[in-house]
Structure 1
C-alpha cells in the first residue's frame, strides 16, 4: 500500500477544535476517515514549530489520499502537505530504469 507523510498546521479554528476534543479525539477522527477509505494510520504525532501534527498513512491508492486531502483542506481547520513515501526497493527500481531526458537547452541525456 502506498505510504504518505502528512504534515499539518492547524488554523485558529482548527486549534480551537483540538482544544475542545483533545488529541485522542482527533486521533479517533483521523482513524475513522483513513480506515473508511481502506487505509491505516501507521503513526501520528503532535509537534510544535512549523507543523502541529505529523502522520504516516497507508492508502490503497493515491486517489484515496487525494480524497482525504480535499476533504481536510475544504474543512478550513488545517493546512496540509502530503508527501508520497518510497521504500528502498522502490528507489532501487527507479535507479535501474532508463530515462531519456534532455535538460532545457541541452543536447541530450549526457549534456
Structure 2
C-alpha cells in the first residue's frame, strides 16, 4: 500500500479550540485517514515549519486528497503538504528498472 507523509499547520481557530477543549488530535486524524480507506502509521506534533506530521498508507491517493480537503475545509489545518514515500526496496527496484531503460535514452548534446 503506498505510504504518504503529510505535514501541515494548525490555524488560529484550531489553537483556540485546543486551548478551550483539549483533544487527542492523533485519534481525530486516524478517524479521517481510516474514512479515506487508509491506515495511519504515525502522528507527531512537531517543531519547526510544520506543526504536525502524519505517516499514512492509502491505496487510492484520490481518497487521501479528499480527506485533506475535509481537513482544510474545517478551518483547523493549513499549509497541508503531501509527499509519496518509498521504501528502500522500492527504490532498489526503481534503480534496477532505470538500468534497463538507460540504453533507450540519449541525452542532449
How many residues were matched structurally? 104
Deviation of the 1:46 alpha carbon: 0.8
Q: How does 1:1-111 map to 2 (within 5 A)?
A: 1-24=1-24, 26-79=25-78, 80-97=80-97, 98=101, 108-109=106-107, 111=109
Instruction: List runs of 5+ in structure 1 lacking aligned partners.
Output: 102-107
Deviation of the 1:21 alpha carbon: 3.8
Quickly say closer, same or farther: Cα 1:39–1:89, change in 2 above 3 A.
same
Quickly say closer, same or farther: Cα 1:23–1:48, change in 2 above 3 A.
farther
- TM-score normalised by structure 2 residue count: 0.80
Instruction: List runs of 5+ in structure 2 lacking aligned partners.
Output: none
**CA-atom RMSD in angstroms:** 2.0
- TM-score normalised by structure 1 residue count: 0.79
Which segment is superposed worse, 71-80 or 49-58?
71-80
Following superposition, which runs of at least 4 residues in structure 1 exceed 6 angstroms of deviation? Answer: none
Could you tell me how far apart the structure 1 residues matched to 2:31 and 2:52 are? Answer: 17
Which residue in the other structure is 1:105 paired with?
none
